[in-house]
A and B are shown apart, each in its own frame.
Chain A
Amino acid sequence: MGVLHSGILAAGLAAISIPILIHFLMRRRRKPVQWGAMRFVIEAYRRTRRRLLIERWLLLAARCLLVALIASALARPLLGTLGDAAGQSRTVYLLIDNSLPSQVRDGAGGAGGAGGLGRSNSATALDRHKAAARAVLDQLRDGDRAGLILLGRPIDAMIVPPSANLPAVRGLLDAVTPSESRADLHAALDRLAQDLARSSSGSAGAPSGPAATGASGAAGNPQQAAVVLLSDLLDGATDLTRPLPKLPEGLRLVWVHDPAGFAGTSAPNVPSIDPADASRGGAIDNAFITAIRPLRSVLITGPGEQGQTVAVTVARAGPGTASRATVPVELRLTAAALPATSPSTAAESRFGTALASGSGTATFGPGQREATVLIPLEPSAGASPNAGPAAADTAAGTTTSPLAGASGPTGNNAAVLVALLPGDRLPADDRFRLPIELRSTLRIGLIGESRDRALGSADTLRGSDWLALALRPAAASPLELVDLDPAALDTAVLAGLDALFVTLPDRVPEPAWPRLASFVRAGGLLLVTPPAEAAVHTWTDAFTSGLGLDWTIAREARDLSTLTEPLRLLGAVDPDPGPADLLAPIRGDLGELARPIGVLRVLPVTRAGGAAPAGTPANSGVGAPDRSTGSATSLPGSPGATPPAAGQGASAASLTTAATPLLALSDGTVWLWSARLPRAEAPAANPGTGRIAPAPGASVDGSAGVVLFMTSALDLRWTDLPAKPLMVPLVQELVRQGVGQSRPAQWFTAGQWLPAPPQSVSIHPLDDPASDGAGTDRDGSSTPGRRGPRTPAGAPPTVAVDDRGLSAEPFRSAGLYQALDAAGARRGTLAVNHDPLASRTDAPEPAALKAWLDAASGAGPVIISPLGAISVSGQPAPSPNASTVAAPSSLTTLFQHESQRSPIGSWLILFVLGLAIVELALARRASHAGVLGN
């Protein structure tokens, strides 16, 4: 049982000392009086002493009890289950939605149609939530407590447990900034229940999570606590398919919302608290970008390169989705800015400049919610080719890439692709950032037959010759070819390569294969073909064991020439391999190009522990490991495949090898394999979600680099592929996509801990090229005299990287960030974008929403409190543009209701009255006032 006014109770209990003091003060020492008839006095005293003593103590007890009961009655005792001394006051938990939808701006008619809520044209939903929260705080008295939890994922329990320092709560409330993540009401309620359970148990080891949701215990009395939810609860902030955790018994949920919605068209001063009322109308039309997908994640700017094409996915939500619409999309390629700590050089001074741009239009049909537009990048006027190899090529009059000069003199720099939509009511999701690496050249090593001879007829060409021709079909090529001595394959040599082609694997010493495995794990591309001249392929064991592949490669080639109908290459095995497809750029023409190719000999591969039947994708995405550990599976199309030998292909490392068939023969035999090596250690889990930080387009499992194994040697005795048109695009795409996928263009959704690149020690915000450059911040506010990109508002200035390689703090704000190592050198650019799921601005079905909230309330159905026109002072709001927001009228009613729920107060008063009468009678009797007749 708790009380409403603990202070009064304490004062009253202290007042019990008053009758006790009076009792003892009345027994003060007085001067003795001489008396003659003492024998009668003594006898009378002896006879009455016991009775008088009882009367006296009874009177004292009655007086003390009377004072205590009066104090208790005034303190408004509450019948309940909790007795926490800290909870005698009222407690309000403010759950403020600062997720992405909280940045929705009020409608154009805000000046006159805001329903008396004191909005301005620039006010956002978060502004309304904060103002309503301030109004709630104004309703609290001294001694009441307030907690504050921000719903933007991951939730920020700013003030939990609740604090009685209400001015400080107001100060923190004013400092609340929006995030670009989703709202996580589930986590907030779980956190709330955890705190309540901890406060009720009084121990730090209170259970958390759903187990704690049933705990009965508020910070004090749950009947004097309320959870005030300040959110518009659009689709992006709700998940009606997932039930909310139930609050502790007696803890009521109050949802404060704007009955007028964002439209500003509802009549003012007529708040509606019926969620079924369609006028709630929180839904707005909103277009947003969900993804940017460049053709290649490494943009090569060297001579002979063509312009980049980028696919931008645009989605829309709101009531307008039923109609046809077009959304213009603007695309920019911008050099990433440097952090202030980075040394400024002439070359790096080009960072931040626009390199290329493009535009397109996303067209939506009726009911269509998502559309993809392909936008070619064109060099910007300011992107002058003044540095790097591109400049030399230009001077020589060779073909120059439209993006030549974008990369720095080192030939390896970062840029950011930014997609922009026209500003709407929710501008935060109209921008999307994707870091992309600029490379002027790719360096490719070749271990094969000697090329120090003049090229003769096609019959005399060897595999290395064919590869060289395919890699550099023209003199101006960004692909640089380096012949390597297989005996000199050391780490230093490999570090300078982007890819390594091996046509004579039998010449690679066995100790070099683990080094090649490290090369692949570090992001290198390794293409291995069987040696054309070998009759018995004894090198395969060293190859598979050195790389840790769970493959068994036959030692003798399978001769297909004896077949009456030679097998033909039939193109990609997986019709939809996803964004990590190495052959994506030529996938459309692959079937036509592969059909005329004949294959005469293959070196069959049998994979142990794999479950990737030919013709079906092994993984829908890149790098998803196949963790099945079943018996060896012979791939279809490998008739001669045999189970792997014991200890071969079944090692612990090989179990995690991810293999993907890329091309297959007409009989289903896989002709070209792609594999990612198992990582040395598991990636760190995201503290916020418990999952690996999703990075679309990133290889999250397996090695960064790719191992490609072509089962036929690039020799006309094995296959006529080298002489066919597919050879050049196939090799080119394998190189470009393979290298690109080892350096994926990563972006992260807001609201998670960022995985930092290796050796990073800190993450710093960068100027955001997504801002419009006209002095307008993300929130739309314009700062005079300020132009250019801005750093993310509310972003942490510098965040350390922990031992697990994750940022020490979650990133809730979208923007660009740069990872630096201990020396201050850049280790990578990280893009954080809004959570597309949070951009769904449709309004959920009202009845379902109410049921969803009802299930969470611990005391009856949810109270839906409008931001009504009743001001805090009880006077009507003077004008719609008033600086104050009306308090939720029913919130006060809530607490009044709560206090009236206690019947014990009335009974106490009656009991006090009865006891007072008894005390009067006792006092009258004890005083013997009528003995003398006066």
Chain B
Amino acid sequence: MPPPAPPDNPGWSFSGAGPAGSTPEADAQLYLHPQTLSRLSSLELRAKLIVEGVMSGAHKSPYRGYSVEFEQHRPYVPGDDLRHLDWKVFARTDKLHLKQYQQETNLDLLVLVDSSGSMSYGSRSFQDASGLASPIGPHGLEHWTKFDHATATAAALSYVALRQGDRVGVSVFADDLRASVKRTSSMSAWRQIVGVLSTHPIDRPTNIQRVTDQILGKLTNRCLLVILSDFFEDPASIRSALARIRHRGHDAILVQVLDQRETQFDLRGELPLLGLEGEPLVKIDARAIRDEYLRLFREHGAAVEAAARGLAFDFLQLSTHDWLGPPISAFLARRASRLRRSKQR
């Protein structure tokens, strides 16, 4: 596949690679540009391409193994899993003790993708995003939506994790869980993940609090939750959901996917705006309310970010016009820091 024409403004950069460099690494990063991704009809291909683009500048060998190290014994209490009984200690001391291990196995990654109605918004035409002549994308839509951007990112993260032996689970939600793939480290689950992500947003609002409760009820070990959403919800609800995640000892990365027009609100004239989540039709003078809109928008974004940062979660903001490198880079950085903390213990 010929490399696409380099974009004028990649919009982001990360360590070790410049967006406009002439090195092969720099060229590989072009795979992360939405213009490249949107050319691919298959989400699977998109994810692989993203991963290739990220890994080519990050690791020499992504297949570095991890072992399970013994940490301590503790007395058995009824209800413990009998599989962790140390039969050798029972034989020597005639006492039941359980073996406890330092969990340094592969990361459990849980990717949550928002498929609410607001995620179906996209101002960038597919024709512009892909550079192709056809105005209609492979999924039948005219615009490169936030959901397209989020699913591509989710697929890429999943692929990276699977390739490193981590367990990966994926869920698609709106005001409820719509579809999920249980965590697994088998590459064979990759197809399932792609299948779950290959869906469309629905005309429902987001309810992170409920979805979080549903997710956390199923988790028994600590996970890294990557939530891809526009987070157009009450910041208090988001904060509450994140607090629960933190309370359960999980880590999280919040990736807010926005459209550039939403962040700039460069509409003109009097327009009737129709909400995508069942909101009523509102006639507005775009320029008249722009300041107020942007002020509210930024306040909301700041509140969500503050909620995340306050709980020591990462917060990333992606634009549908931006490349996909930042979330993957953030994911990898987060994974490395966790491993370092585990070793220090």
In B76-122, the 8 Å CB interface with A consists of 117-121
9-residue interface stretch from B29-37, B210-218, B285-293: B285-293
B273 at interface, CB cutoff 8 A = yes
CB distance from B193 to the nearest CB of A (A): 25
Q: Are A30 and B289 in contact (CB under 8 A)?
A: no
B230 at interface, CB cutoff 8 A = yes
Q: Are B297 and A37 in contact (CB under 8 A)?
A: yes
In the complex, chain B residues whose CB is within 8 Å of the CB of A455 = none
In the complex, chain B residues whose CB is within 8 Å of the CB of A932 = 266, 268, 287, 290
Q: Are B274 and A34 in contact (CB under 8 A)?
A: yes
Contact of B292 among A35, A47, A927 (CB under 8 A): A47
Contact of B288 among A29, A32, A38, A52 (CB under 8 A): A52
B69 at interface, CB cutoff 8 A = no
Q: Are B293 and A40 in contact (CB under 8 A)?
A: yes
Q: Are B287 and A30 in contact (CB under 8 A)?
A: no
In B258-297, the 8 Å CB interface with A consists of 259, 262, 266-268, 270-277, 279, 281-282, 284-285, 287-293, 295-297
What residue of chain B has the Cβ atom nearest to residue A925's Cβ? B288
Interface centre among B146, B275, B288 (most CB of A within 10 A): B288
Q: Are B276 and A34 in contact (CB under 8 A)?
A: yes
Q: Are A35 and B288 in contact (CB under 8 A)?
A: no
Cα(A26)–Cα(B266), bound, Å: 19
A42 at interface, CB cutoff 8 A = yes
Q: Are B272 and A38 in contact (CB under 8 A)?
A: no
In the complex, chain B residues whose CB is within 8 Å of the CB of A52 = 285, 288-289
In the complex, chain A residues whose CB is within 8 Å of the CB of B273 = 32-35, 38, 41
In the complex, chain A residues whose CB is within 8 Å of the CB of B297 = 37, 40
A453 at interface, CB cutoff 8 A = no
In the complex, chain A residues whose CB is within 8 Å of the CB of B277 = 38
Contact A931:B296 (CB < 8 A) given known A33-B273, A41-B284: no
Q: Are B274 and A41 in contact (CB under 8 A)?
A: no
**Given A33-B267, A36-B117, 15 other A-B residues pairs in contact with their CB atoms under 8 A:** A30-B270, A34-B275, A35-B273, A36-B121, A36-B146, A36-B230, A36-B262, A37-B232, A37-B293, A40-B296, A44-B284, A44-B296, A928-B290, A929-B287, A932-B287
Q: Are A931 and B291 in contact (CB under 8 A)?
A: yes
A691 at interface, CB cutoff 8 A = no
Contact A41:B285 (CB < 8 A) given known A27-B270, A30-B270, A35-B274: no
- How many contacts A-B (CB < 8 Å)? 99
B222 at interface, CB cutoff 8 A = no
Q: Which bracket fits the contact residues of A?
A: 20 to 34
Cα(A43)–Cα(B295), bound, Å: 11
A57 at interface, CB cutoff 8 A = no
Contact A36:B292 (CB < 8 A) given known A30-B272, A928-B285, A932-B266: no
CB distance from B201 to the nearest CB of A (A): 10
CB distance from A55 to the nearest CB of B (A): 8
Contact of A32 among B119, B274, B293 (CB under 8 A): B274
Which secondary structure dominates where chain B touches chain A? Answer: mixed
In the complex, chain B residues whose CB is within 8 Å of the CB of A39 = 232, 279
Q: Are A36 and B276 in contact (CB under 8 A)?
A: yes
Report 30 cross-chain contacts, Cβ distance below 8 Å, ordered by A residue.
Answer: A27-B270, A29-B272, A30-B271, A33-B267, A33-B272, A33-B274, A34-B276, A35-B121, A35-B276, A36-B232, A37-B121, A37-B232, A37-B293, A38-B273, A38-B276, A39-B279, A40-B293, A40-B300, A41-B273, A41-B282, A44-B292, A45-B282, A45-B284, A45-B289, A48-B292, A52-B288, A928-B285, A931-B290, A932-B266, A932-B287
CB distance from B329 to the nearest CB of A (A): 26
Q: Are A32 and B296 in contact (CB under 8 A)?
A: no
In the complex, chain B residues whose CB is within 8 Å of the CB of A47 = 292
In the complex, chain A residues whose CB is within 8 Å of the CB of B285 = 52, 928
Cα(A743)–Cα(B325), bound, Å: 136
In the complex, chain B residues whose CB is within 8 Å of the CB of A43 = 292, 296
In the complex, chain A residues whose CB is within 8 Å of the CB of B118 = 36-38
Contact of A35 among B119, B266, B275 (CB under 8 A): B275
Q: Are A931 and B274 in contact (CB under 8 A)?
A: no
Contact A38:B287 (CB < 8 A) given known A27-B270, A932-B268: no
Q: Are A36 and B259 in contact (CB under 8 A)?
A: yes
In the complex, chain A residues whose CB is within 8 Å of the CB of B268 = 932
What residue of chain B has the Cβ atom nearest to residue A928's Cβ? B287
CB distance from B328 to the nearest CB of A (A): 24
What residue of chain A has the Cβ atom nearest to residue B277's Cβ? A38
CB distance from B232 to the nearest CB of A (A): 6
In the complex, chain A residues whose CB is within 8 Å of the CB of B270 = 26-27, 30
Cα(A37)–Cα(B275), bound, Å: 8
Q: Mark A893-934, 1 if CB is under 8 A from B, else 0.
A: 000000000000000000000000000000000111101100
Cα(A34)–Cα(B201), bound, Å: 14
What residue of chain A has the Cβ atom nearest to residue B285's Cβ? A52
CB distance from B278 to the nearest CB of A (A): 9
In the complex, chain B residues whose CB is within 8 Å of the CB of A41 = 273, 282, 284, 289, 293
Q: Are A42 and B282 in contact (CB under 8 A)?
A: yes
CB distance from B122 to the nearest CB of A (A): 8
Q: Are A37 and B290 in contact (CB under 8 A)?
A: no
Cα(A30)–Cα(B274), bound, Å: 12
CB distance from A68 to the nearest CB of B (A): 26
What residue of chain A has the Cβ atom nearest to residue B298's Cβ? A40
In the complex, chain B residues whose CB is within 8 Å of the CB of A927 = 287
Q: Are A38 and B279 in contact (CB under 8 A)?
A: yes
CB distance from A574 to the nearest CB of B (A): 106
What residue of chain B has the Cβ atom nearest to residue A929's Cβ? B287
What residue of chain A has the Cβ atom nearest to residue B278's Cβ? A38
What residue of chain A has the Cβ atom nearest to residue B234's Cβ? A39
What residue of chain A has the Cβ atom nearest to residue B299's Cβ? A40
Q: Mark A41-75, 1 if CB is under 8 A from B, else 0.
A: 11111011000100000000000000000000000
Cα(A6)–Cα(B238), bound, Å: 69
